[in-house]
Amino acid sequence: MSAIDLNSDLGEGIGEDAAMFGIVTSANVACGLHAGDRDTMLACARLAAAHRVNLGVHPSYRDREGFGRRDTEVDASVLARDIREQIDALRTAAEAAGTKVRYVKPHGALYNRIAVDPVQADAVARAAQDAHLPLLGLGGTAIQAAADRLGVPFYVEAFADRAYLPDGTLAPRSLGGAVITDPAVAAERALMMVLDKAVPAIDGTTIRMRPDSLCVHGDTPGAVAMAALVREKLLEAGVELRAFV
């Protein structure tokens, strides 16, 4: 039987967190630098504990104004410090809620940058190493190489609600069709990713992948309906939903 994790970016002050926690198996929680605060982290940690959902750190550049979606030049030591700060913040909330932080999945521009930038990728991997946490990200990229080099467990993520470029990276949000909003299309792509280990890129070429986790963004329009349909179709196809770590 095939198995897959279903994750979502939550605690960002957008969307319906409580409903999403009833659908996903892992939750990537904003830790204050692009969105969220002490109260939202605690609320998410409590929801994760109640629904037995794995709790992950969703760290960002220090960019609340740009919601963490602006590419940023930052010294590697400063970036590593900022990642550790966000890990510590969510760990404090998790402890108060009686649960634990299980992994790290970077957010937005940082996520895209560490796919191609070995220096920033190394900083993120070192922060995860220091915290003894695995990483979730794009397979075959600079962040996986950095994780492998440092002995940090790495899990591969795919996106049901995002289009891909032919090189396997995510299509920029500024590009038409980059964000998928039709739940049926997202569910179809999710099945392809899990069962066929492939998905078409934005130019029609085929991208091969072996994902450990699928993401439906919490701020995608209609995210709850989309995540629910993705879950439903996966279960109908005999795919087991379980946390990747």
For 208, list phi and psi in degrees, rounded to 5: -90, 140
57: containing domain: 3-241
8 Å CB contact between 214 and 161: no
Q: What is the CATH number of the domain that holds 73?
A: 3.20.20.370
pTM of the model: 0.96
8 Å CB contact between 75 and 26: no
Structural domain count, the chain = 1
Please state the length of the chain.
245
For 229, list phi and psi in degrees, rounded to 5: -70, -40
Q: Considering only CA atoms, which of 197, 195, 196, 208 is closest in space to residue 235?
A: 195
Please list the pLDDT of the chain residue by residue as tens digits (245 residues). Answer: 699 999 999 999 988 999 999 999 999 999 999 999 999 999 999 999 999 999 999 999 999 999 999 999 999 999 999 999 999 999 999 999 999 999 999 999 999 999 999 999 999 999 999 999 999 999 999 999 999 999 999 999 999 999 999 999 999 988 989 999 999 999 999 999 999 999 999 999 999 999 999 999 998 889 999 999 999 999 999 999 999 99
